[in-house]
């Protein structure tokens, strides 16, 4: 019986050992395959919401694990197309992608974006609609459609498209756009609510402060601007992907300015904050933040001044009582010294 017991124990060890090897093999081999699949899925999800740098990182990681993965290669080609800084280069890259796969939702999105940027909205519309037909989760296409309808003056339709984009992914970019549409409709409470939903996003705080200017809530405007300045000086906050995006300001139908550098964003925030302090007659603190602004190395300070000036012009359209203070602030801090 003892001998028989030893045999059973030996067999159990062999079988158990084999089972352990089997489990180990599958737990070690499957994650590699699943990992590549997950990376590609996540990469496409980031494409859907316009986070192209993150998508590129994920597709590159997938290719590093599986160098001949066609889906990862295709995803990387799409992110490369978005890297072009000129419309001409962008269009050439999109045309090459379109020849390979005209049914790809992101490729159709890119074509729509090209025609929007080229001031050919009628050509953009069918591509954007096609992109959504191909991919119901393509938030960027809804965002671009909202831009199209906003240009047409159809603010209700623009709002509807943005609400879908926000439902897919409630990013500060989409919320800010919705707030902008609400402002066009004079729905200031709704715009304020959208701005206030974004956390650790300085542009939202600065935008909502402008609404508080108009409603004589300088105390709250000051709090939001101080928070924006704090975030702008917090490396952890500003390293977030959404805070790497350019701040776009449309001054007129023919003039758009973009702040891409941190120094430009800080300069803008310091000037906004200084204006609030100036209205509160705290000129000493206003001057202190002006001096902080002047310490920055801003290549295009004139552009920052132009945006602030345009914002103040909009303010006095709503509150003519501030015209004298606005003019004085401009003369002090926004007028370029004569050579």
Tens of pLDDT along 322-336? 999 999 999 999 987
Residue among 135, 136, 97, 140 nearest 245 (CA) = 140
Integer angstrom CA distances of residue 90 from 81, 85, 118, 129, 191: 6, 7, 11, 20, 33
Q: Maximum Cα–Cα distance for the chain, whole Å?
A: 109
Angle at 211 between CA 206 and CA 216, to 5 degrees: 115
Claim to verify: residue 211 and residue 327 sit in the same structural domain = yes
pLDDT at residue 81 in the model:
96
Out of 16-25, 40-49, 271-280, pick the least confident.
Answer: 16-25
User: Could you report the per-residue pLDDT of 94-120, keeping only the tens digit for each?
Assistant: 999 999 999 999 999 999 999 999 999
Q: Based on the domain organization, do 216 and 319 belong to the same domain?
A: yes
Q: What is the pLDDT of residues 125-166, one digit of tens each?
A: 999 999 999 999 999 999 999 999 999 999 999 999 999 999
Identify whether residues 218 and 171 lie together within a single domain: no
Residue 187 sits in a domain of what CATH number? Answer: 1.25.40.10
136 with 214, same domain? no
Whole-number Å distance between alpha carbons of 77 and 79:
6
Reported confidence tier of residue 337, pLDDT bands at 50, 70, 90:
low
- How many secondary structure helices (H) and strands (E) does the chain include? 17, 2
Q: Tell me if 116 is assigned to some domain.
A: yes
Which is more confidently placed, 10 or 284?
A: 284
Q: Are residues 243 and 284 in the same domain?
A: yes
272 found inside a domain? yes
Residue 302 lies inside a defined structural domain of this protein: yes
How far, in Å, are 57, 317, 333 from residue 279 at the CA level?
A: 46, 17, 14
User: Does pLDDT of 17 surpass 80?
Assistant: no
pLDDT tens by residue, 261-318: 999 999 999 999 999 999 999 999 999 999 999 999 999 999 999 999 999 999 999 8
Q: How far apart are CA 181 and CA 94, in angstroms?
A: 30
331 and 211: one domain?
A: yes
Query: With 60 as the cut, is the pLDDT of residue 238 above it?
Result: yes
List, in sequence order, the alpha helices (H) in 66-138: 70-81, 87-100, 105-117, 121-134
Calpha distance 242→172 (Å, rounded):
8
Residues 108 and 191 in one domain: yes
Q: Which of 25-34, 105-114, 179-188 is the least confident region?
A: 25-34
End-of-domain residue from the set 199, 221, 245: 199
Residue 255 has a pLDDT of 86
pLDDT of residue 100: 96
Specify if 312 maps to a domain. yes
Within a domain: 19: no
Q: Across the chain, what does the average pLDDT equal?
A: 90
Question: What pLDDT shows up at residue 253?
Answer: 74
- Tell me the Ramachandran region of residue 200: left when phi exceeds 0, alpha when psi lies from -120 to 50, beta otherwise: left
Q: Do both 166 and 211 map to the same domain? A: no
Segment 75-87, tens digit of pLDDT:
999 999 999 989 9
Domain residue limits at 133: 86-94+102-199
Domain count, the chain: 2
pLDDT for 335 equals: 80
- What is the rounded distance in angstroms from the CA atom of residue 160 to the CA atom of residue 143? 10
Structure tokens at 122: 């009628």
Cβ atoms 253, 316 nearer than 8 A? no
User: Which whole number is the average pLDDT over 197-213?
Assistant: 97
Of the residues 165, 199, 233, the one at which a domain ends: 199
- Asked whether 322 and 315 are in contact (CB, 8 A), the reply is yes
d(CA 59, CA 84): 18
């Amino acid at each position: 019986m003892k001998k028989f017991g030893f045999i059973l124990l030996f067999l159990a060890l062999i079988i158990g050992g084999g089972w352990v090897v089997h489990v180990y093999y599958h737990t070690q081999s499957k994650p590699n395959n699943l990992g590549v699949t997950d990376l590609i899925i996540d990469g496409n999800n980031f494409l859907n919401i316009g986070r192209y740098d993150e998508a590129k990182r994920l597709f590159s990681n997938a290719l590093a694990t599986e160098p001949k993965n066609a889906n990862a290669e295709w995803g990387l080609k799409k992110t490369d197309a978005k890297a072009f800084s000129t419309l001409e280069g962008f269009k050439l890259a999109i045309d090459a992608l379109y020849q390979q796969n005209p049914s790809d939702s992101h490729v159709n999105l890119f074509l729509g974006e090209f025609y929007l940027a080229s001031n050919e909205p009628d050509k953009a519309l069918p591509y954007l609609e096609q992109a959504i037909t191909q991919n119901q989760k393509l938030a960027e296409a809804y965002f671009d459609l909202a831009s199209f309808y906003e240009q047409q003056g159809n603010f209700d339709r623009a709002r509807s498209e943005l609400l879908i984009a926000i439902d897919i992914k409630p990013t500060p970019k989409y919320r800010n756009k919705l707030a902008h549409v609400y402002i066009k409709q004079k729905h200031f409470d709704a715009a304020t609510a959208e701005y206030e939903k974004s956390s650790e996003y300085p542009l939202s705080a600065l935008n909502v402060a402008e609404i508080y200017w108009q409603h004589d809530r300088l105390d709250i405007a000051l709090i939001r601007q101080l928070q924006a300045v704090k975030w702008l000086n917090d490396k952890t906050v500003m390293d977030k992907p959404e805070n790497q995006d350019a701040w776009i300001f449309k001054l007129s139908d023919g003039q758009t300015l973009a702040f891409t550098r941190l120094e430009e964003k800080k300069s803008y925030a310091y000037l906004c904050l200084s204006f609030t302090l100036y209205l509160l007659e705290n000129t000493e603190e206003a001057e202190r933040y002006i001096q902080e602004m002047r310490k920055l190395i801003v290549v295009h300070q004139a552009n920052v001044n132009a945006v602030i000036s345009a914002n103040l012009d909009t303010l006095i359209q709503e509150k003519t009582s501030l015209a004298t203070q606005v003019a004085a602030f401009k003369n002090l801090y926004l007028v370029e010294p004569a050579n």
